[in-house]
Structure 1
Amino acid sequence: MTTPTESNWVIPLAFLLATGVFLGLSTNLAKIAAGVGLEPLAFLAWSLVGSTTVLAVIGAVRHRLPPINARTIEYFVVSGLVSVAVPNLLSFAAVPRVGAGFVALSIAFPPLFTYLGALLLGMEEFQTRRAAGVAFALGGAALLAALKLSEPDADAFWIVTTLTAPVLLAVGNIYRTLRWPEGAAPDELAPGMLAASGLMLLVVGAITGVLLGGVSRFSLVVPTENIVPVLLIIAQTLTFSCMYLLFFFLQKHGGPIYLSLLGSVGAVVGVPIAVFLLGEAPPQGLAIGGLLIALGVGLLTFGDPQAS
């Protein structure tokens, strides 16, 4: 893994901000999709198939397709499961119940779990500045989530379900760093992970379709009454393609702790989209929570993002 110098903090920051924009956009596209009758499984599965195709074609043209061996297959399957398929499916299913704004906020939780995991596994030595950055970012997200839970009409089941996704994302952050295939480039790993996650979801959809007689929530069928669902899948395909390609470059240049701040940036981007474009009520405490998240990103950004 490449370790940046003090002068190279701009590179990880640029990747962080760009990837966060696509992450925030992705969450809101899920809400729009739910509003036009696209089931979460179908929307996620076909978007992943599309983004896999896009990145694989680009890789083939550039002669940079992912290596296929036992190590990379394990990497693609495990990272696809805990980093893409399950957390995205949980989040997309929760959007109609708790709102795109709250789902966007929930993905700001991984920093603490990732940081603690890295400390326990000896991947990082304790450093006050970095610990403070994680604490501020997590504090901002926790404040916003606590206020959401205190609302009179809060759906506790779906709120808790939504908050399960960050735990899986943190596990994925640690795993992808520890098991990064030797010599593999970021743009070689992205299509493999997306292909594995997309295939898993297609299998789930096919099996549940047979066992449950095509229950709608597990359906892979895309409504064809109008072109909007197809356009949304195309939009999510392009969003995923950009997001996950940048995602691996961010991990390569910033490391797992810095990468975990992606959710915080995604929340800062995703919540305003939900409020101003989709008409959701702004979450309570948004100003204070956003300020704490920004402060946390700053403390983990300036200097070496991978410093230990």
Structure 2
Amino acid sequence: MGAGWGLSVPLAKIAVSTGHQPLGLIFWQLVVIVALLGTINALRGKTLKLGREYWRLYLMIALCGAVLPDIFFYLAAMRLPGGIMSIVLASVPIFSLPIALALGNERFAWRRLIGLSFGLLGIVLLIGPDASLPDRAMAAFVPIALLAPALYATEGNLVAKWGTQGLDPIQTILGASLLGMVITAPLAAASGQWVNPLSSFGAPELALAASAALHGIVYAVYVWLVGRAGSVFAAQSSYLVTGFGVLWSMLLLSERYALLVWLALAIMMVGTAMVQPRARNQPVAPHPAIGDHADGA
């Protein structure tokens, strides 16, 4: 999962290299995901659930796990190096813990609070006055990039809290991706961000297709992991995402990083390590539906 998600970072950089805008890219990314997961779902003999409780789930995942974070991700990818984007993704558990505590998904511990402090320190090293980004102006895009992991953390915690209404990960991501297509298509057309990948199918379009396929499979695994082990534990995958993202960016984009960037990475990893998952790996309950309250709650 970490290797696949990490590879999507430099692929995103390649996808935006010719000026493709976020909404158009997101729409076609969702098209690839729907085609891939729809085929897998059909081969398994599964159906797409269309009840009201499922649409609330699909909407939450479409917005918090795909459309909104990908907008911020692509906007930041236009300006930031792939390695920096990968380091930013390490902040998923940093955001996940306070949300988990607020929702009652996890228990407070001082060790975790210290871990959050390390995570914040790593972010400061990336955007502070002495940051070693290739261009000082890039620092302004780090907060934009951070909105993506914050939304991923929100989505993971909501799934951990309310479950997936009995749907498996493939069904869940398929439904959310279909709804995401409905949301992004008119927005892309109205905002002038529409992308026609068939007009000139080259490296950016190929990178988009590969990234989308990886994203669909890896994201389904992530939702499954949230359900099995909790949102904070699932967010630990950011270790591997970050490590592989940096390595893939160095290999595919020939990126090299200053000492402060490596220091920020190390501190972020320490912070992530200290944000420990809950001790018991219990599946999340499929009911009640998102936004409802359990009896006696």
- Give the aligned partner of residue 58 of structure 1: 40
- Give the aligned partner of residue 181 of structure 1: 164
8 Å CA contact 1:55, 1:241 repeated in 2: yes
Amino acid at match of 2:207: L
- Give the aligned partner of residue 98 of structure 2: 116
Matched, 1:27 2:2: no
1:4-43 matches, within 5 Å, as 18=1, 20-43=2-25
- Which deviates more, 184-193 or 225-234? 225-234
- Give the aligned partner of residue 28 of structure 2: 46
Q: In the aligned structure 2, how far is the partner of 1:181 from the partner of 1:117? A: 18
* Structure 2: runs of 5 or more not aligned: 283-297
The change in CA–CA distance for 1:141 and 1:279 in structure 2 (over 3 A counts) is same
- Give the aligned partner of residue 280 of structure 1: 255
- Give the aligned partner of residue 74 of structure 1: 56
Cα distance, 1:158 vs structure 2: 2.4
Aligned partner of 1:97 among 79, 85, 94: 79
8 Å CA contact 1:119, 1:126 repeated in 2: yes
Q: In the aligned structure 2, how far is the partner of 1:263 from the partner of 1:92? A: 18
Cα distance, 1:179 vs structure 2: 2.8
Q: In the aligned structure 1, how far is the partner of 2:138 from the partner of 2:151? A: 21
Cα distance, 1:267 vs structure 2: 1.9
Aligned partner of 1:259 among 220, 234, 240: 234
Q: Which TM-score applies when normalising by structure 2? A: 0.81
Q: How many residues align?
A: 281
- Give the aligned partner of residue 233 of structure 1: 208
Q: In the aligned structure 2, how far is the partner of 1:27 from the partner of 1:138? A: 22
Cα distance, 1:197 vs structure 2: 2.1
Q: In the aligned structure 2, how far is the partner of 1:69 from the partner of 1:148? A: 53
- Which deviates more, 140-149 or 191-200? 140-149
Q: In the aligned structure 1, how far is the partner of 2:214 from the partner of 2:151? A: 21
8 Å CA contact 2:95, 2:153 repeated in 1: yes
- Which deviates more, 175-184 or 82-91? 175-184
Cα distance, 1:224 vs structure 2: 2.6
The change in CA–CA distance for 1:104 and 1:148 in structure 2 (over 3 A counts) is farther
Deviations 1:33-56 (A, max 9, x none): 122453333222212111112111
Amino acid at match of 1:89: I
8 Å CA contact 1:133, 1:297 repeated in 2: yes
Amino acid at match of 1:68: L
- Give the aligned partner of residue 168 of structure 1: 151
Q: In the aligned structure 2, how far is the partner of 1:156 from the partner of 1:297? A: 22
Cα distance, 1:143 vs structure 2: 3.6
Deviations 1:143-176 (A, max 9, x none): 4454785646323442332222222222222222
RMSD: 2.9
Aligned partner of 2:89 among 98, 104, 107: 107
Amino acid at match of 2:150: V
Matched, 1:190 2:165: no
- Give the aligned partner of residue 212 of structure 1: none
- Give the aligned partner of residue 155 of structure 1: 138
1:266-305 matches, within 5 Å, as 266-296=241-271, 298=273, 304=279
Give the 3-state SS of the residue equivalent to 1:163 in structure 2: helix
Q: In the aligned structure 1, how far is the partner of 2:119 from the partner of 2:46? A: 36
* Structure 1: runs of 5 or more not aligned: 1-17, 209-214
8 Å CA contact 1:42, 1:222 repeated in 2: no
Deviations 1:164-205 (A, max 9, x none): 222222222222222323322223212112222233221211
